[in-house]
């Protein structure tokens, strides 16, 4: 028989009872880092931890060839004081009853350490990783065929790079003690590569050859032209998997053919010979059969062995024949418009002269709506126009054809005084002094889209005659026709309101020399004006009004960089 000592039997419950005292406090000889939490309550431990927090480490993050070194807090690293205190408390509770007594009576003196509990805010971490990852070349860039210098070349593909943020989120969240992280890179190959595109580019360069287009009139007369390689390149696309016709490019080419192998019909007209008006007979023209030509080009563009195609030309009859013209002797001066451009720059004067010459001799058929832009043709350097000041986009800037509005304004004055109905008339944004003293009696044009249109309601053709005196700086537009019993008076402008111009402003211009100052726009007051026309004829007396609301315009000075 084994006999338990009486002392042991008595001591055991006493030890147990003593060990249970203050079970809501952290046991003795427990610390976190260098901070002693012995016999502290849970709340006291949290307060102590907050007073001496663990310093956040520095973390180095590698992304491709870039390295970022930041405090861990920037990656969402966060001390969890409650969990740290709980960890210290639980460490003490892991001691046995006798061990607790030993620590409490000081019989056992070694210290036990609990670790700081650190968590990671995944939202903060992901935001930072995403910010760095945006520096990568995200999506792959496919190879592309580019036309340059008469042939197709390949713009190489670029692989895409995407950061594997998810794996770093998992790694760092599970081990916030890490001081070195690397964001894995996923590389994605482009769907279209240089290698896959090369056969198509080789094929496209075979397709690039001059194409001879022969227009054939109904009488069998041939009118040839050649579409060069640049034009042919505009007729098709190099796609990722095939060559594909470009319907819009083909349409443009066919329209261009009209001017190359077609010949516009010419209406009968008048011309001045030694001060006398002579008739000029009409001429039949030819136009490209658009539908047939489009189909013919479409059928052969992608077949490099075909280098020639025939397209039919249709007869284009003039709309005004010599039989429609009155006897030149019956033509009388029915209206005159004048304006002055003296003092204009050489460039502006050149444009006035070119536009006036293009308009001179134009004939407006009965009931025809005259279009100023159609009458003078395209405003381009090829037609003799040069750069001068124009109003565009709320500024006075350099543009081809500045000064053409001098001609449209003078033409409008002549036609308005003749009583012709207005179909379209536009004012300038601000009052332009070249049209003084007749404020509001002007017409702005701009290609494309802004036109001057007037209808010939005289019942007979009207001949437009322009006279440009470059020495005096004057422009006259005369209208000749069969006089109608019509009396027209045009009032002076009535100024309804005036708005002072705003203060000048200064803009920076890096093209100017340091310290240079240059005026690029000029101040003009704003005006609201009206001009009234009174017409008396067999229908009675009627009035119409043209209104112009000119904006107040500010002076603008451009300055160069600081010295």
What is the per-residue pLDDT for 348?
87
What is the per-residue pLDDT for 22?
52
Neighbours of 212 (CB within 10 A): 12
346 — phi, psi (to 5°)? Answer: -60, -40
Q: CA 132 to CA 138: how far, in whole Å?
A: 12
List the chain pLDDT tens, one digit each, 563 residues. Answer: 444 454 444 445 544 454 455 568 998 989 998 899 998 998 999 999 999 898 999 999 999 889 999 999 999 999 999 998 998 899 889 888 878 888 888 788 788 988 899 999 999 999 999 988 887 767 889 999 999 999 999 999 998 888 889 999 999 999 999 999 999 988 889 999 999 999 999 999 999 999 999 999 999 999 999 999 999 999 999 999 999 999 999 999 999 998 899 888 888 888 888 878 888 899 999 999 999 999 999 999 999 999 999 999 999 999 888 888 888 888 899 999 999 888 888 888 899 999 999 999 899 999 999 999 999 988 888 888 887 666 655 555 666 778 899 999 999 999 999 999 999 999 888 888 777 788 888 999 988 889 999 999 999 999 999 999 998 999 999 999 999 999 999 999 899 888 888 887 777 777 788 878 877 777 888 888 999 999 999 889 999 999 988 888 878 878 877 76
- CA nearest neighbour of 256 among 278, 225, 283: 225
Alpha helices, DSSP H, located in 118-233: 122-133, 165-174, 194-207, 229-233
| pTM score over 0.75 | no
- CA nearest neighbour of 48 among 85, 10, 17: 85
What is the per-residue pLDDT for 19?
46
Q: Cα dist. 317→214, 267, 387 in Å?
A: 21, 9, 37
Question: Any residues with CB less than 8 A from the CB of 151 and at least 6 apart, and which?
Answer: 205, 208
Looking at the DSSP bridge assignments, the partners of residue 313 are 288
Q: Which long-range contacts (CB under 8 A, 24 or more apart) does 134-138 make?
A: 135/63, 135/66, 136/63, 136/64, 136/161, 136/162, 136/163, 136/185, 137/161, 138/162
64 — phi, psi (to 5°)? Answer: 55, -120
Domains of the chain: 6-55+75-120 (no CATH), 208-323 (3.10.20), 326-559 (no CATH)
What is the per-residue pLDDT for 7?
44
Q: CA 240 to CA 142: how far, in whole Å?
A: 9
What is the per-residue pLDDT for 6?
45
- CA nearest neighbour of 257 among 291, 290, 303, 304: 290
């Amino acid at each position: 028989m084994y006999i338990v000592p009486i002392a042991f039997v008595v001591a055991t419950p006493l030890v147990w009872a003593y060990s249970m005292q203050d079970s809501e406090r952290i046991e003795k000889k427990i610390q976190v880092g260098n901070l002693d939490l012995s016999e502290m309550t849970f709340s006291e431990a949290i307060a102590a931890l907050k007073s001496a927090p663990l310093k956040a480490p520095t973390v180095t993050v590698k992304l491709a060839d870039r390295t970022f070194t930041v405090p861990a807090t920037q990656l969402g690293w966060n001390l969890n004081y409650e969990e740290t205190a709980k960890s210290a408390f639980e460490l003490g509770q892991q001691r046995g009853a006798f061990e607790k007594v030993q620590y409490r009576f000081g019989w056992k003196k070694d210290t036990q350490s609990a670790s700081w509990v650190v968590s990671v805010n995944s939202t903060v971490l992901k935001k930072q990783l995403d910010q760095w990852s945006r520096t990568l070349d995200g999506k792959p860039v496919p190879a592309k065929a580019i036309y340059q210098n008469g042939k197709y070349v390949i713009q190489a593909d670029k692989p895409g790079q995407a950061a594997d943020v998810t794996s770093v989120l998992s790694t760092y969240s599970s081990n916030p003690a890490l001081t070195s992280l690397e964001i894995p890179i996923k590389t994605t190959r482009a769907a279209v590569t240089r290698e896959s595109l090369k056969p198509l580019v080789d094929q496209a360069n075979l397709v690039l050859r001059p194409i001879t287009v022969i227009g054939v009139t109904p009488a069998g007369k041939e009118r040839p032209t050649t579409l060069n390689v640049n034009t042919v390149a505009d007729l098709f696309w190099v796609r990722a998997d095939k060559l594909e016709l470009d319907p819009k490019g083909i349409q443009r080419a066919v329209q261009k053919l009209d001017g190359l192998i077609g010949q516009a019909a010419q209406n009968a007209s008048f011309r001045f010979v030694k001060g006398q008006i002579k008739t000029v007979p009409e001429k039949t023209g030819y136009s490209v059969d658009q539908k047939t030509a489009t189909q013919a080009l479409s059928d052969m563009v992608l077949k490099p062995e075909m280098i020639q195609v025939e397209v039919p030309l249709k007869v284009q009859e003039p709309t005004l024949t010599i039989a429609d013209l009155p006897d030149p002797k019956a033509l009388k001066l029915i209206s005159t418009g004048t304006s002055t451009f003296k003092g204009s720059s050489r460039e502006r004067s050149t444009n006035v002269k070119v536009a006036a010459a293009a308009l001179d001799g134009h004939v407006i058929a009965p009931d025809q709506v005259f279009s100023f832009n159609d009458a003078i043709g395209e405003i381009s350097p090829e037609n003799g126009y040069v750069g001068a000041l124009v109003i565009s986009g709320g500024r006075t800037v350099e543009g081809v054809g500045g000064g053409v509005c001098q001609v449209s304004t003078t033409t409008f004055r002549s036609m308005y005084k003749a009583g012709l109905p207005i179909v379209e008339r536009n004012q300038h944004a601000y009052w332009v002094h070249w049209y003084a003293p007749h404020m509001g009696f002007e017409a702005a044009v701009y290609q494309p889209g802004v036109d001057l249109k007037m209808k010939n309601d005289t019942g007979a053709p009207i001949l437009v005659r322009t006279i440009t005196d470059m020495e005096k700086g004057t422009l006259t537009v005369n209208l000749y026709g069969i006089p109608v019993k019509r009396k027209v008076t045009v009032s002076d402008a009535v100024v309804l309101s005036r708005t002072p111009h705003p203060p000048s402003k200064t803009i920076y211009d890096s093209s100017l020399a340091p310290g240079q100052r240059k005026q690029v726009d000029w101040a003009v007051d704003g005006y609201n004006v009206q001009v009234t026309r009174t017409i008396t004829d067999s229908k009675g007396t009627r009035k119409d009004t043209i209104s112009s609301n000119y904006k107040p315009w500010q002076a603008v000075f451009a300055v160069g960089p600081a010295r």
